[in-house]
Structure 1
Amino acid sequence: MVESDDPLLTLVLQSLDDDQAQDLVTIDLEGKSSIADFMVIASGRSTRQVAAMAQKLGERLKKAGFGNPRVEGLPAADWVLVDAGGVIVHLFRPEVRSFYNLERMWGFDGPSGAA
């Protein structure tokens, strides 16, 4: 797991780690985009796991005082986006993740690019 000085990013990474997310990638967007400070991309083994990770992450963020994040992509849960303000989280089923390949679009080679 990545250590971070950003409490929001730390909570996101810990939540995903607790829920057994796979192939976590953290992309630092500072200076590259105004949408957020960080983008986190992770995979779940099934639509059920992807949906559960997104819902639990939303609950944990709210409980920790980070507001009510916007969640898009439920109930299909092939690709769920959680907008937590400073951190944007993309949760995918592995096949969908490889199809869209967001890591490459942001200058990473794949799940092993950074974590």
Structure 2
Amino acid sequence: MHRFSEPLGATLAASPNVTPSPGTEDAEALHKLVIDSLDADQAVETVSIPLAGKSSIADHMVIASGRSSRQVASMASKLSEKIKAEFGRSPRVEGLQTADWVLIDAGDVIVHLFRPEVRSFYNLERMWSFGEESPTGTA
């Protein structure tokens, strides 16, 4: 398992290759595309955490699991292709080679795709919940 020395979101959010969308309508459309794509690919335990007004890195963070590395890689590749086709920009993708934890930085939406064991180890939902009871589940 690959261990990261710093949170991936912090590294990728500052990436010059990803330009945030100009408006909240684009952010919401991107968020919907992400949720719909993960749902179609049978992602497990999809959670969406609203970040607007709480963090400057993105408007939404979506966390989901795949049943295997193969499913995680497939979901990430399909989602990246859909974002490029729909919005005309290529999101930055990290971790696709091993697919234990794949991060997709699409500007206004950051997506974390995990194998279940890796997801429970890092427990990003708790770290990003901002003291709320629980993040918004979408699945």
TM exceeding 0.5:
yes
Give me the identity figure in percent: 67
Query: 1:65-84 counterparts in 2 under 5 A?
Result: 65-84=87-106
Give the aligned partner of residue 24 of structure 1.
46
Residue 40 of structure 1 pairs with residue 62 of structure 2: yes
8 Å CA contact retained: 2:49, 2:61: yes
Rate the CA distance shift 1:77–1:15 in 2: closer, same or farther, 3 A.
Answer: same
Give the aligned partner of residue 98 of structure 1.
120
- What are the ranges of 5 or more consecutive residues in structure 1 without an aligned counterpart? none
Residue 15 of structure 1 pairs with residue 37 of structure 2: yes
SS at match of 1:64: helix
* Matches of 2:96 and 2:38, distance apart in 1: 17
Structure having the higher Rg: 2
* Matches of 1:93 and 1:48, distance apart in 2: 9
8 Å CA contact retained: 2:46, 2:62: yes
TM-score (norm 2): 0.75
Residue by residue, what CA displacement relative to the aligned partner does 1:25-77 show, whole Å, maximum 9, x if unpaired?
00000111100000000000000000000000000001102410000001100
Which residue identity is paired with 1:82? I
Aligned residues: 109
Rate the CA distance shift 1:35–1:66 in 2: closer, same or farther, 3 A.
Answer: farther
TM-score (norm 1): 0.90
- What are the ranges of 5 or more consecutive residues in structure 2 without an aligned counterpart? 1-24
Q: Post-superposition shift, 1:108?
A: 7.2
* Matches of 1:63 and 1:38, distance apart in 2: 20
Residue 89 of structure 1 pairs with residue 108 of structure 2: no
